[in-house]
Amino acid sequence: MSQTRSELAVLGMDCAECTLHVRQAIAALPGVRGVEVFLAAEKAVVDYDAAQVDLPAIRKAVQSAGYQAPAAGAGEDVSESLAQTSARFGRAVLWVLGLVFGAVLLVVVAGEWLGLFEAVTARVPWPIGWLIVFVGWVPVLRNVIAAARRGQATAHTLMSLGVLAALVVGEWTTAAIVVFFMRVGDYVEHFTAERARRAVKDLTALAPKQARVLRDGVEAMVAVDQVAVGEVVVVRPGEQIPVDGVAVEGSAMVDQATLTGEPLPAEAGPGTRVFAATLVRLGSLRVRAEQVGRDTTFGRVIRMVEDAERHRADVQRLADRFSAYFLPFVGLIALLTFVLRRDPLATAAVLVVACSCAIALATPIAVLASIGAGAKRGLLVKGGKYLELLDRADVLLIDKTGTLTLGQPQITDVVSLDGMTPDTLLALAAGAERYSEHPLAEAVRRASQAHGQELAAPSHFEALPGFGVRAQIDGRQVTVGSRRILAGGPLPAQAQGLEADGKTLLYVTVDGQPQGVLAATDTIRPEVPAALAALRGLGIERIELLTGDNPRTAAALAEPLGVAYQAELLPADKLEVVRRYQAQGKTVVMVGDGVNDAPALAQADVGIAMGAAGSDIAAEAAHVVLLRDDWALVPEALRIARRTMRVVRTNIGYTLVYNLVGLTAAALGWLSPVFAAVAQSIPDLIILANSSRLLRQK
């Protein structure tokens, strides 16, 4: 069996019902093992056996369901063209549509109240009336028939039955007006879906399209996807950096707002790591490419936002399940209306007034608006599920190094034992830490280099999670790490005084014998106190620091901030703390740097990775990714979640009440098919207006 995964563009989807139809059409093909369809990203991800089915067959299945599935590359071009056309003519089209809609609505209302329709109907031969109806109805009817062949019913199925009922009783004018408002409703749903996609498309539009590559000493403009890893790209003032890489020549001020939301530009020069989609404001750079296209940090951002629909909120799943039963329920109400009242027009009104798409759109519109708006500010949420969990959060657990602190510790003390000189101790420790990525390891290396020492190259290196590192240097085994490496042995006398000062200690052993202690200090991020106060104001019941440091150091850091702490924890211990709170029924948020805390971040109900730009581990482990080191984004994530879920609950409550009132009024004969058609197009507009507020979050 040849298992293959492919992505294909799917255009023309306007609501969750559309994604269901596409999913069912693809899943029915032999050899398809799994399929996911994304409304906002306008794509399907299909796992299939290439020996049984191919992409052309999958595209044909999508087209048979009534949607477009252009070939690779064409979908992006078509989507981009449609977006540009919409942006260029959107206001004018809406203005004209508003005038037409208003005029027709006025005529409908006046005609219905004054009884003009009956006079018009009497003067026009029924074949001409039917022809008028079918001109607008045929495109819809074609899709209804195609769905019926697949054993599916849609909102248009019910409305088409209403149109048919009106025609049968000779009310072709009513049928024509129902068709008109059916088409208006289709446009509204399409516009609503496009509005939800706007944040995603705006983000995608920021991706660089071309790069100036240096080849054989000559600059050549090429498409970004044609840049090879290792090539040097030239970026001039005012141009986007097209790749992730390292600057090898030049100097510039780089505006990273598109990636991190940070408004102040950062200085870049040789050795500086830079990212795709950021903008060179002053100066110029030559950058050696390390990641290109979808592998860049910005590419991963787009991919995470597109795939956010994969992690749907429970309330959205509930709405989807409700939608699945809603159409049969409406059909039953219509049948009972006809049986009990013997009124075809009241039956038609019941079929027409139902707003199933409004229920399906109530959650994804709001969620996509918030996710897209947050991404522009450097705050990535991987799905509505995590917005819903953030809304319920009551426990916050925090890592220390690189999270609560700046992650730039400085070595302040070098205490040697047994006659070893401080310089020798520092040189051995720096050599052992040469290949470690921990911030404390970087501090040791900086201190060694500041003393003019050359880093030794260990012949063997081993990371010991929760303990430290072990390395072989010049035939000696050197271990650097927490007090655990002493295996319960006595602490040096000087260590207690350093711990009392709140310093983090690194112990050094050589061939199993303690040889000294290195003390380091780090600085709490300046925005942390205000952020913690904001989190308490948002209802977080308990905030707790989890650290591998000793209790004295942990207390010196936690007590001024007014938070609880647990010290001397291994990564497995942090994981167990998360599980313990979850067993108590708490919704746990874990904030870490995404590297050492990956297990706890993944286990938490919501894991938040700080400063994760360029970090694959952080992006994979966490559920919320902060692309810049700014604690103000943590309470902001909770605020966004609270606002989003309020809008979702409002949307769902409104659509349920609206449908209940509409169905009741139609069944009792208080709502004619004409006014039912008008009423059917209103909920989508209300949901759009309510959810669009999230796009303007400050």
d(C-alpha 625, C-alpha 332), whole Å? 47
Phi, psi of 612 (to 5 degrees): -95, 15
Residues with active-site annotation: 399
d(C-alpha 179, C-alpha 142), whole Å? 14
Give the residue carrying structure tokens 């948020």: 589
Burial group, residue 265, by CB count within 10 angstroms (0-12, 13-18, 19+): middle
Check: CB of residue 242 under 8 Å from CB of residue 278: no
Check: CB of residue 589 under 8 Å from CB of residue 641: no
Q: Which of 388, 408, 410 is nearest to 312 (CA)?
A: 388
Check: CB of residue 659 under 8 Å from CB of residue 613: no
Pairing of strands 624-626, 606-609: parallel
Longest dimension (CA), the chain: 114
Helices and strands: H and E segment counts in the chain = 24, 23
Check: CB of residue 566 under 8 Å from CB of residue 555: no
Q: Which of 451, 444, 368 is nearest to 640 (CA)?
A: 368
Distance of CA 285 to CAs 11, 35, 238, 246, 479, Å?
39, 43, 11, 10, 41
253 beta partners: 267, 282
Quote the strand ranges of 408-557, DSSP E: 410-416, 460-464, 468-473, 476-481, 504-510, 513-521, 542-546
Quote the strand ranges of 468-523, DSSP E: 468-473, 476-481, 504-510, 513-521
